[in-house]
Structure 1
Amino acid sequence: MDFQLSGEQQLLREALSGYLARRYTFDERREAVAGAGWRPEVWRALAGELGLFGAGLGEADGGFGGGAEEIAVIAEELGRALVLEPYTEAVVVAGALLRGLPQGASLLSAVLEGSALVVPALYEKAGRSDPARIGCMLRDGALTGDKALVVAAPLATHLIVSAREAGTGAAGDGRPALCLVRADAPGLTRRDYRLIDGRPAADVTFTGTTCERLDLGDEDALERIGAAIDAGIGAQCAEAVGVMATLLERTVAYAKQREQFGRPIGTFQALQHRMADMAVALERARSMATMATLALKADAAGGAVAAERSRQVSAAKAYVAEALKQVAEGAVQVHGGIGTTDEIDVSHYFKRAYVLQHQFGTAQYHLGRMAAHS
């Protein structure tokens, strides 16, 4: 099987990496973290100037005919540059939730243009890593309940919320549904905070909040949610590869120039072994991320069973999470105390690695999910 990028995919990578090299320096990122937690002008440029948001969507949905492979190319470059903007949440996951729905066509078009920012609100405190544990209730076109750790909620124009329809069974046992909510809707309150990597997030409470129930036809809401989250995990696995690759590059370069006892610390065998282990973990993670991408590609083409897609994506997530921990900790340990300071980028990559390990479910959760689908 040929794992090389096509000519178009290579051009996509070069265009994005070139733009980020010019417009997304470490100092500019630090300013954004200290401010709003993102750069709206970059978001608009990614959508308009580069046409990035349509690269991973089919033509029927207003995209350019791409899919999981193009998303992986984009996500890896965003990981290398440590981009704050919520591409995975607001484009990959939200796009998968809206794709193919008559109600979602105009909003999806606005997402691709960068004029709307739609984020998924699919997790709850009681459910922890499991999006199928839904306590939020939909009754007479209004939502009541809470959603936790909604990444980019303070930036959003709309939220896509999972809920259970009241009146179809015992409380909390109704049919799952997806609802579209304006971010400024009456009855919606947020508790805003920052993740440790500087990205804005919020816990959201709905108190009789008016919403629009998305018409999924005969499709089960949990199946659509599962497919969307799998797409997000695939993107984050690719992003993690970009994060780890940069951490390894920074660590090797530092080990070559930092001296102890009159010679570079990179000549010490113990540190050579540690960096070799980091390199092996990176290449294994790259292979697992590719496996997830291929599973998502096969699923989109109708050539895979959903359970098999989920099994492979969970396997990738579980391994990549452990590899992230190993590479990030190794990078900080080789750098020593300076690796924990805010002035150099290694500490920022370390923080992003920690968030990627836990978002969309922990490694432990995905090992159990993988076993359930085996």
Structure 2
Amino acid sequence: MNFSFTDEQLMLKDSVEGFLTENADSGIVRQAMASESGVDENLWQKICAEMYWQAILVPEECGGLGLGLVEAVIVLEQMGRFLTPVPLAAGIQSALALRTLADQLQAHTLLAGLAEGRLLGLAHTAARPSWGASGVGVIANSTVNGWSLSGEARFIATGDLATELLVVAKIGSDLGLFRLAADQTGVALSKMPTMDQTRPMGVLQLHDVTVDPESCLSLDWAEQLEAVLDYSRIALGAEQVGCAQASLDQSVAYVSERVQFGRTIASYQAIKHKAADMMLKVESARSLLYYAACVGDEALTDAASSEDLQEAAAMLASSAGDAAFFCAGTGIQLHGGVGITEEYDIQLYFKRARSMEAYLGRPDEQREVLAAMLLDQGGSHAA
């Protein structure tokens, strides 16, 4: 694939970087961490009003920009660099879920809400034993008045801020997708404790929640769930690449200033080797990121198969997860003992990298997916 950015995509990258440099520095991130929500709501409102990034994947007929996954990951990579404390990734995940239901009136209404900046959380898993269909922890039972939902979903990317939820539930051997209001009777949405304080996650408890028939968006959503998870891994990979890049940049800046034995430690060959290894990880992951984003755009228009999407997402997840954790961990080492203290930002990237590494499947699990595709099934994919 011969990939190069268009002029419009380069302008988008520059505008995102400039905006975040001015509005999302370390002080803003730390203030959001100390807040109850974990989100800078003023910054989120400014993004929604001035930059309109929340509408990137929303179709134009729903009030969005109608752009693709490449544009989305351009934004998310920069947000990963700055650890931007806003729920954009959650909105992108929900938009991708709704686009599998593009012919339904309710989906159009919800997409229009996303374009306006409303928070819609995807509650899809209890993450036991997996992030996919086998990990769905909500059960839907048919009733005279519609449906009754009970169970638990964790790791909801909007934290406890969502006003509405898309809930994946088991219906016998199938999966359904339901629309719920966060303040509905029997719904308990709360913030769950996580290692990464820069990214809030939510946990949803449902106790015999009554859902009318119109709020059932799909009765056969298993295949779509797997596709949405693959798209989400691509979006997550963008943030991991940004995290790895920031870890490299901050480490190089530190070793270029730190003086030991009469010279900067950046002049020592062992330090240069570490930095070179970090850069190799970053650039390799970035190449896979934009390859996967291109495949994702093709999959959104049915020009690529679900197998192509799964393969591209697994390759990226295995590489980007390793790159973020390696670069942040190496950055801690290059900073020395002070690297893990609150004074330095590198420890924030280490926590983000560690939490993202496990979210939606660890790198080793994604390599197992690739092995199954290439070996067990005798596939002809070129990983």
* Partner of residue 121, structure 2: 119
Does the aligned pair in 2 maintain the 1:153–1:159 contact within 8 Å?
no
* Partner of residue 45, structure 1: 46
Tell me the amino acid that sits aligned with residue 49 of structure 1: E
* Partner of residue 169, structure 1: none
* Partner of residue 175, structure 1: 174
* Partner of residue 69, structure 1: 70
* Separation in structure 2 between the aligned mates of residue 214 and residue 42 of structure 1, nearest angstrom: 33
SS of the residue aligned with 2:50?
coil
Tell me the amino acid that sits aligned with residue 251 of structure 2: T
Normalising by structure 1, we get a TM-score of: 0.92
* Partner of residue 341, structure 1: 341
* Partner of residue 170, structure 1: none
Does the aligned pair in 2 maintain the 1:248–1:278 contact within 8 Å?
yes
| CA offset digits 1:293-325 (Å, max 9, x no partner) | 121012123221101211111111012111122
Flag the 1:135–1:350 CA change in 2: closer, same or farther, 3 A.
closer
Residue 149 of structure 2 corresponds to residue 143 of structure 1: yes
Tell me the amino acid that sits aligned with residue 267 of structure 2: T
Deviation at 1:221, TM superposition (A): 0.4
Does the aligned pair in 1 maintain the 2:47–2:53 contact within 8 Å?
yes
SS of the residue aligned with 2:361?
coil
Deviation at 1:3, TM superposition (A): 2.7
* Separation in structure 2 between the aligned mates of residue 92 and residue 70 of structure 1, nearest angstrom: 11
* Partner of residue 211, structure 1: 211
SS of the residue aligned with 2:156?
strand
Deviation at 1:132, TM superposition (A): 3.9
Deviation at 1:330, TM superposition (A): 0.7
* Separation in structure 1 between the aligned mates of residue 43 and residue 78 of structure 2, nearest angstrom: 14
Deviation at 1:61, TM superposition (A): 4.2
RMSD over equivalenced CA pairs, Å:
1.8
| CA offset digits 1:147-205 (Å, max 9, x no partner) | 1222323111111111112xxxxxxx432101111111111124533322213223221
| CA offset digits 1:86-127 (Å, max 9, x no partner) | 2112x211001112132121121111111x201111111423
Does the aligned pair in 2 maintain the 1:32–1:39 contact within 8 Å?
yes
SS of the residue aligned with 2:160?
helix
SS of the residue aligned with 1:373?
helix
Tell me the amino acid that sits aligned with residue 16 of structure 2: L
Does the aligned pair in 2 maintain the 1:240–1:320 contact within 8 Å?
yes
* Partner of residue 274, structure 1: 274
Flag the 1:195–1:178 CA change in 2: closer, same or farther, 3 A.
same
Residue 80 of structure 2 corresponds to residue 79 of structure 1: yes
SS of the residue aligned with 2:84?
coil
* Partner of residue 57, structure 2: 56
- State how 1:197-346 maps to structure 2 within 5 Å: 197-198=196-197, 199-211=199-211, 213-216=215-218, 220-346=220-346
* Partner of residue 158, structure 1: 164
Which of 108, 112, 115 lines up with 1:109 in the alignment? 112
Tell me the amino acid that sits aligned with residue 5 of structure 1: F
Once structures 1 and 2 are overlaid, which stretch shifts more, 55-64 or 156-165? 55-64
SS of the residue aligned with 2:122?
strand
Tell me the amino acid that sits aligned with residue 163 of structure 1: A
Residue 30 of structure 2 corresponds to residue 30 of structure 1: yes
* Partner of residue 168, structure 1: none
Deviation at 1:83, TM superposition (A): 0.7
* Partner of residue 11, structure 1: 11
Once structures 1 and 2 are overlaid, which stretch shifts more, 273-282 or 116-125? 116-125
Aligned length: 363
Flag the 1:372–1:12 CA change in 2: closer, same or farther, 3 A.
same
* Partner of residue 98, structure 2: 98
| CA offset digits 1:322-370 (Å, max 9, x no partner) | 1122111111100011111112211111111112211111112222222
Does the aligned pair in 1 maintain the 2:57–2:96 contact within 8 Å?
no
Does the aligned pair in 2 maintain the 1:58–1:67 contact within 8 Å?
no
Residue 371 of structure 2 corresponds to residue 365 of structure 1: no
Does the aligned pair in 1 maintain the 2:340–2:347 contact within 8 Å?
yes
| CA offset digits 1:227-273 (Å, max 9, x no partner) | 22222111111111111111111111111110111111112211111
SS of the residue aligned with 2:343?
coil
| CA offset digits 1:28-51 (Å, max 9, x no partner) | 210111013001121122222111
Once structures 1 and 2 are overlaid, which stretch shifts more, 363-372 or 318-327? 363-372
* Separation in structure 1 between the aligned mates of residue 135 and residue 72 of structure 2, nearest angstrom: 28
* Separation in structure 2 between the aligned mates of residue 21 and residue 210 of structure 1, nearest angstrom: 46
SS of the residue aligned with 2:51?
coil
